[in-house]
């Protein structure tokens, strides 16, 4: 089997919202379709992907480097051992031809975008939903029928006060979520503490609320904030400081009571290993949120999981960033802690597939072969149009 075409489009994902560090007024997303010469139901099997969120579109690297390498591979070179299906690990190796180690930049995002489409293809050819394929191949057949999830929202918007924040969170509870996350660090600390208290009033308990500073605090402020939130008993304190300052994380971790979380800006297995070695996180207390799409794809993420086991990390402490359906399959099939959701935030890319149900903070998964983007309202038509 071979890849016959790769289509990429850069689309706007603009919004007036902001976190502690960036606004989303010019945000973009890369959407890809990877077409193969395997025919099912009279049509070529095609995989779909997009670049998660939080980073801009990756069309340049995809079009100029990765797509030409994949399309230029020798016939059968990207296929698995019996030649019947795609091998995402070989695809990653081909994409990384003539790429130096280290200095990952955002090429890891470009690779992860295509990797999402590769796994969609693999599961479609095996005629299984991706979560089932992952459970069978990498988890001894075990999968979670329901995935823990939470509503990641609570962004800053111009003119948004405490009542609007509470209305937003009530809306999430009405949808079936039981826990939520809000942004912090984008307002003075006393205002953020009032936002936290207003959120807890709606959610009922601090353990149902996580806060996310998006790496916006310096260490002294992060420590002050850590001490200020300790009485609330929050679910976790996310990205308090610059994501690559491991010593600062170690200092926060040394006296942490509230669980810490980070990882969405660790973009490779090597970076994550350095984090595990040097950042002082406690695998019994803390969480890692590496996003498979931002970090070279699931082919790399499977290696990250194995590496982390050696440092005492169970899959049950991993919660991928991104709120994408791809991550839901990974969380179910590899039995992670769960996966975040972005209801109404990164529409339509954060939407669930038709027929998926959410209740009591858990979501079930689609039964379509592959990831199921063909059944996600708003994404379906967009991706089909891309495949041509």
Stretch that binds Mg ion, among 106-114, 158-166, 206-214, 271-279 (CB under 5 A): 206-214
Among residues 211, 213, 212, 201, the alpha carbon closest in space to that of 170 is found at: 201
Q: Left, alpha or beta for 58 (phi > 0: left; psi -120 to 50: alpha)? A: alpha
- Annotated active-site residue 128? The verdict is no
Footprint of Mg ion on 78-117 (CB under 5 A): none
Smaller CB separation from Mg ion, 212 or 380: 212
User: Smallest distance, Å, CB 113 to Mg ion?
Assistant: 19
Out of 321, 324, 329, 351, the active site residue is: 321
**Does residue 212 bind Mg ion (CB under 5 A)?**
yes
* In the complex, residue closest to Mg ion by CB: 212
User: Smallest distance, Å, CB 264 to Mg ion?
Assistant: 5
d(CA 315, CA 107): 26
User: Smallest distance, Å, CB 13 to Mg ion?
Assistant: 16
d(CA 351, CA 341): 8
Q: Which residues in 130-154 are b (16+ Cβ under 10 Å) and which e?
A: bbbbbbeeebeeebbebbbbbbbbb
Smaller CB separation from Mg ion, 212 or 251: 212
Angle between helix 107-125 and helix 88-95 axes, rounded to 10 deg: 150
Cα distance from N-terminal residue to C-terminal residue, the chain: 20
- Annotated active-site residue 321? The verdict is yes
Residue 43 burial by Cβ neighbours in a 10 Å radius (0-12, 13-18, 19+): exposed
Smaller CB separation from Mg ion, 89 or 150: 150
Stretch that binds Mg ion, among 96-104, 205-213, 229-237, 364-372 (CB under 5 A): 205-213
User: Smallest distance, Å, CB 152 to Mg ion?
Assistant: 7
CB contact at 8 A, 61 and 110: yes
Stretch that binds Mg ion, among 35-43, 79-87, 207-215, 217-225 (CB under 5 A): 207-215
Out of 7, 183, 324, 329, the active site residue is: 183
Q: Which two tokens stand for residue 54?
A: 């939080």
User: Smallest distance, Å, CB 236 to Mg ion?
Assistant: 10
* Catalytically annotated residues: 183, 321
Contact footprint for Mg ion (CB under 5 A): 212
């Amino acid at each position: 089997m071979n890849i016959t075409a790769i289509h990429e489009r850069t689309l706007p994902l603009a919004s007036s919202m902001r976190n502690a560090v960036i606004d989303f007024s010019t945000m973009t997303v890369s959407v890809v379709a990877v077409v193969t010469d395997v025919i099912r139901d009279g049509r070529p099997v095609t995989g779909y992907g997009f670049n998660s969120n939080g980073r801009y579109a990756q069309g340049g690297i995809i079009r100029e480097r990765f797509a030409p390498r994949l399309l230029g591979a020798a016939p059968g070179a990207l296929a698995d051992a019996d030649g019947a299906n795609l091998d995402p690990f070989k695809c990653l190796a081909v994409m990384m031809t003539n790429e130096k180690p280290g200095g990952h930049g955002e090429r890891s995002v470009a690779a992860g975008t295509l990797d999402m489409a590769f796994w969609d293809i693999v599961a479609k050819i095996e005629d299984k939903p991706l979560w089932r394929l992952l459970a069978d191949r990498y988890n001894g057949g075990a999968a979670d029928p329901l995935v823990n999830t939470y509503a990641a929202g609570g962004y800053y918007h111009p003119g948004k006060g405490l009542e609007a924040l509470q209305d937003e969170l009530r809306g999430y509870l009405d949808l079936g979520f039981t826990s939520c996350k809000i942004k912090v660090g984008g307002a003075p600390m006393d205002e953020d503490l009032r936002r936290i208290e207003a959120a807890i009033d709606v959610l009922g308990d601090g353990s149902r609320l996580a806060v996310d500073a998006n790496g916006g605090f310096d260490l002294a402020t992060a420590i002050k904030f850590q001490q200020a939130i300790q009485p609330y008993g929050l679910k976790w304190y996310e990205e308090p400081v610059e994501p690559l300052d491991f010593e600062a994380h170690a200092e926060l971790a040394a006296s942490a009571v509230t669980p810490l979380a980070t990882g969405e800006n660790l973009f490779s297995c090597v970076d994550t290993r350095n984090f595990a070695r040097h950042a002082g996180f406690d695998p019994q207390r803390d969480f890692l949120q590496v996003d498979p799409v931002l970090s070279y794809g699931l082919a790399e993420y499977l290696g990250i999981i194995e590496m982390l086991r050696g440092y005492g990390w169970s899959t049950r402490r991993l919660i991928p960033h991104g709120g994408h359906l791809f991550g839901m399959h990974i969380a179910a099939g590899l039995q992670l802690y769960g996966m975040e959701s972005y209801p109404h935030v990164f529409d339509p890319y954060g939407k669930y597939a038709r027929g998926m149900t959410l209740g009591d903070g858990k979501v079930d998964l689609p039964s379509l072969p592959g990831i199921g983007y063909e059944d996600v309202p708003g994404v379906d038509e967009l991706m089909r149009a891309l495949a041509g």
